[in-house]
Structure 1
Amino acid sequence: MATALVSDMYTAAEQRAASVTAVEERFISQAMGRGLFATRQFREDDLIFEETPVVSCQFVYNKEYGYRACDQCLRSLETAECNVRRLCQEPLLVLPHPECADTALPAVLLCPGCQAEYCSEECRREAWQQHHQLLCYAPSHSDHPLTRLLVEWKQHHYPPETLSILLLARLLAGVLLSPDAVTASASLARFCHASVSARDAASHKLLGPEFVQHIHALRTLMAEVFPDPRLAEWMSEEGFKSLLALVGSNGQGVASSPLARWVTRCDDLPLKGQDRDQLDAFIDNLYEKLDSTVGTFLNTEGSGLYRLQSLLNHSCRPNAIVTFPHNSHTLQVRAVRDIAPGQPVFISYLDDCTLARSRHSRRKTLRENYVFACACERCDDETIQPDVTSDEDMDDDEQ
């Protein structure tokens, strides 16, 4: 049910995208829309494609809570040790095996106007060209439309965050800064074609119970950010709802963590016996400390809109997985089992916990969040089984 992002919208995004000759886009059906299909054989753990987003941004609360990341690529701007000291609130904590950590931080560059942080001159330049020249403002300016937009957004969207209104703002800024804004806007419109009922359901899930009042406030403030008449159709009630449905159903979560990278490398160390036991005990104790201070909010987190990833359809028995191996918003899609030429590439839209539940529960979550009834191979196989397989699922039925 993925809605593809416009492929010709940003020339820069096309230039940065990896070669994708290994997959091709095909129409599947009216119900499922389009999808990606393998054009060659993939074995388990093979790289299918790598991609940078059309647009991405850090979550609002995540940034306010002190998670430092490049404002363009979301690369963490902390070492693993600095990261864990801040999260554990232990300024003298020392991580063993420093060879497993990223040894050098990037030379942080600042936007002279708003002090946004970037990991490189390339990221600062890309941000300026794609959106930042229209969205740069002093955060201390409390009456700025963007400041008021974020305040309104935060009143309804608390951690754990799944999206940021800035993603939509950067998308619209990109339309205005493209070589032909009228063509870019028309291209975007082709991908905001969900039915009214599906669109409203997705927007309602995104915005919460105060749907009407909240969407009106967001739309009014966004129109103040972008008074340009070339965006008039997106500032209308119908256009704004379509955009919210687009980013709500296609936004891909992005997370970077220098601590997680250190732990992964520690797992690969050739340690045995007591040395391995001591390291494992240290890591277990570290996560217990983190659980008591920040719970599950360990990573620098945000979301992005990806041209190819948005074409990947869901399956409760996926043959591929999305990963972020570069500590940034660059994603990879890798095979988790063999994929033959001509077969569709599927990922799971569900987390591992939900994916392990019954067909009834999985379909309920997908219906609420993505507005479709799953009819994947696994769901079809389980039609001969009772939908409800646990006490937790029984509770779902009673709601």
Structure 2
Amino acid sequence: MSTVISTNETDFVIANDQVKGRQIIAKRIYQSGELIFHEQPLVSAQFEWNKLYKYSACECCLYPLESCEQNVRRLCQDSAIVILHPECDPNRNMDQRIVRCPKCNEMFCSTTCYQQAMNNYHFTLCQSNENQEKDQLIRHIIDLWRSVHPPPETTSISLVLKIMAMLKQTDNRLILLQELQKFSQGVQSENQQFYHKLLRKEFETQVEQLRYALEQFNEKYIQLAEFKWFLTSNGFRQLLALLGRNQQGVGTSSLALWVKNCEALSEPQQAIAAAAAATATSEASQFIDALYTKIDDISGEFIDCEGSGLFKLQSCLNHSCDANAEIQYLHNNSTLSVVATRLISNNEEITINYLSECDRNRSRHSRQKLLQENYLFLCQCNRCTSESAEPDETSEEESENDMEED
């Protein structure tokens, strides 16, 4: 089950709105930069292509399993790189800390994560060669997913496999089913057609093969009557829409952690010797800039261990194009943190922006189009309302019109 950690249970409440559905309302004032809550996922999984390309992360919590030096050497395809300030890399001895499943060799960042995975789902999904037919079917399901869902990835079929395994292993199946049903609110309604990104045309042609493979997995190895409906043609599409609409992306990085620690390194130095600290900081900054440039040339923008998860409380956070909070991963694993980005008043709804950084500055029409396609709703936030007089053009159309006028 997901775990919510809050400084005070009365700091916010979950309310129900007739239009928006569930929402989170602040019950006190939050300052900009203040933590609102931490939350661990109900279930999470690394993206399949990300894992295939050897982005090494804990199978349970997605904590990165490379040292920073190993990370940049792989991304730069240069085994000679030696990082500055190795003491700033908390993962420098990660090889010695990795815990492997004795049966399938799957990697975890700690004994705690390994035991948690075994208790929740890994006992069922462990590819230990004890049942080669089961192992082959799991690999077939993952291969099918990769064949029809190339990068950039948005979710992982392993979320479905883990949910099925969790339902099989749990002693509280009814409670877990009730938790999952909460994510389905708003996904199904009368006469609603799904134009979800996971069900685009090239995926639709293969969806039946994937559904059938999961149906076989359930019948042979999971045997959950409660999950059969989700593996019907209509139910499976709604299951994927549920994941696509509710999943929250997770990104972790040994490199990012090292960079953050390098930046903090200069603070005590400045108190002792400002000139020396400035020189050291400049050297580190130049080294970091050069690394990112090389990584961009070799590996592009996909530099993190990436995955997604379902978070019970986070899923109650509604979108606003003028959001007052944001998602951060302060622990460099799948534990999610919600942080205020401006002053939040008592009784104000806490909101986040579902759009990517580059899409947030697009026109109202472009934002509405993206939200409709990806999350099945039209935004009615204050920003969208204030921009309602703008022409119904996408950002690309606006750029083309500007060029024609020039």
Give 1:183 shift: 5.2
Distance 1:64 1:191, change over 3 A: closer
1:17 is aligned to: 4
Query: After superposition, what is the alpha-carbon deviation per residue over 1:186-239, rounded to whole angstroms, capped at 9, x for unaligned?
Result: 55345424235787525x421321454422111111112221142222222232
Query: After superposition, what is the alpha-carbon deviation per residue over 1:289-334, rounded to whole angstroms, capped at 9, x for unaligned?
Result: 1011100111011111101111100000110010001110011000
Question: TM-score normalised to the size of structure 2?
Answer: 0.87
Q: 1:371 aligns with which of 367, 376, 383?
A: 376
Q: 2:89·2:257 contact (CA, 8 Å) conserved in 1? A: yes
Can you give the 5+ residue segments of structure 1 that lack an aligned partner in the other structure? 1-9
Q: Any idea what SS the aligned residue of 1:372 has?
A: coil
Give 1:85 shift: 1.2
Count of paired positions: 381
- Tell me the amino acid that sits aligned with residue 297 of structure 2: S
Residues 298-337 of structure 1 correspond to what in structure 2 (within 5 A)?
A: 298-337=303-342
Distance 1:127 1:167 in 2: 13
Q: 1:149 aligns with which of 141, 146, 150?
A: 141
Query: After superposition, what is the alpha-carbon deviation per residue over 1:151-210, rounded to whole angstroms, capped at 9, x for unaligned?
Result: 1101111111111000111122222222232554355345424235787525x4213214
Q: 2:97 aligns with which of 107, 111, 117?
A: 107
Residue 50 of structure 1 pairs with residue 38 of structure 2 = yes
Distance 1:303 1:159 in 2: 14
Q: 2:183·2:246 contact (CA, 8 Å) conserved in 1? A: no
| CA RMSD of superposed structures (Å) | 2.3
| Identity, % of aligned positions | 38
1:3 is aligned to: none
Give 1:357 shift: 1.2
- Tell me the amino acid that sits aligned with residue 198 of structure 2: L
Residue 243 of structure 1 pairs with residue 232 of structure 2 = no
Distance 1:183 1:347 in 2: 28
Q: Any idea what SS the aligned residue of 1:168 has?
A: helix
State which drifts further: 380-389 or 190-199: 190-199
1:217 is aligned to: 209
Q: Any idea what SS the aligned residue of 2:194 has?
A: helix
Q: 1:251·1:303 contact (CA, 8 Å) conserved in 2? A: yes
Question: TM-score normalised to the size of structure 1?
Answer: 0.89
State which drifts further: 20-29 or 324-333: 20-29
Residue 90 of structure 1 pairs with residue 114 of structure 2 = no
Distance 1:157 1:390 in 2: 26
Distance 2:400 2:138 in 1: 41
Residues 207-356 of structure 1 correspond to what in structure 2 (within 5 A)?
A: 207-227=199-219, 228-230=223-225, 231-268=227-264, 269-270=266-267, 273-356=278-361
Distance 2:400 2:206 in 1: 30
Residue 384 of structure 1 pairs with residue 389 of structure 2 = yes
Larger gyration radius, structure 1 or structure 2: 2
Distance 2:152 2:87 in 1: 32
State which drifts further: 209-218 or 41-50: 209-218
State which drifts further: 175-184 or 45-54: 175-184
